[in-house]
Amino acid sequence: MAEQIIHSILLALHNIALVGCAAAPFYNRALVTKRGQYGPKLDYKLDKVVEDTLQGNAPYCMAFIAILWFTGLGMPLNHYAFQGAFHSLHPVGMAALGLKLASLLGMMIIMFIIFFQINPRLRELFSSFTPDAGPDPEKEREFFAKRARRKGLCEICLYFALTILVCSAFLGFGA
């Protein structure tokens, strides 16, 4: 009974993190697409809201990934602790697990690039803008080029998140 309760709690947390991993890039994509309708010309107030929102989501993304790893490792270890062996997986389940882990690794690489390379530069560029004066054209071009790069990486991240969601359904494939 204790094994099933622990497994259910880990699975619930895992599923919440999975949904969070898919929802974050989905809603960020919607925000960036709406902002894109106004073109690559700085609108200080609008762009401040967009940047604050997108960059404010970084801790949530990191937390969701950490929860995925913790619960993803916790479920087989829970079974091992109670049964003395790991579950054997059907080849379909093994393939799904491999694809899920590869997608998760891909998401982590993308998050590293966005959070530690692109976002700091975007913050630096945006801090040079003011609500009253027109931006330096070179900095404005770089700002929107970095945003476009981030948007492209977030698109890939969304597909990785959807792959993780789909693959999770095949982990319990019967032997």
Coil/strand/helix, residue 39: coil
Residue 175 has a pLDDT of 53
Contacts of residue 69, Cβ cutoff 8 Å, sequence gap at least 6: 104
Residues of the chain with pLDDT under 70: 174-175
Q: pTM, whole model, 2 decimals?
A: 0.86
Contacts of residue 24, Cβ cutoff 8 Å, sequence gap at least 6: 57, 60, 61, 64
Residue 62 has a pLDDT of 87
Burial 76-91 (b: 16+ CB within 10 A, else e): eebbeeeeeeeeebee
Residue 46 has a pLDDT of 93
Q: How far apart are CA 64 and CA 15, in angstroms?
A: 10
CB contact at 8 A, 158 and 29: yes
Give 42-105 as a 3 state SS string.
CCHHHHHHHHHHHHHCHHHHHHHHHHHHHHHHHHHHHHHHHHCCCCCCCHHHHHHHHHHHHHHH
Q: Which of 38, 34, 48 is nearest to 123 (CA)?
A: 48
Residue 174 has a pLDDT of 60
Residue 29 has a pLDDT of 85
Residue 172 has a pLDDT of 79
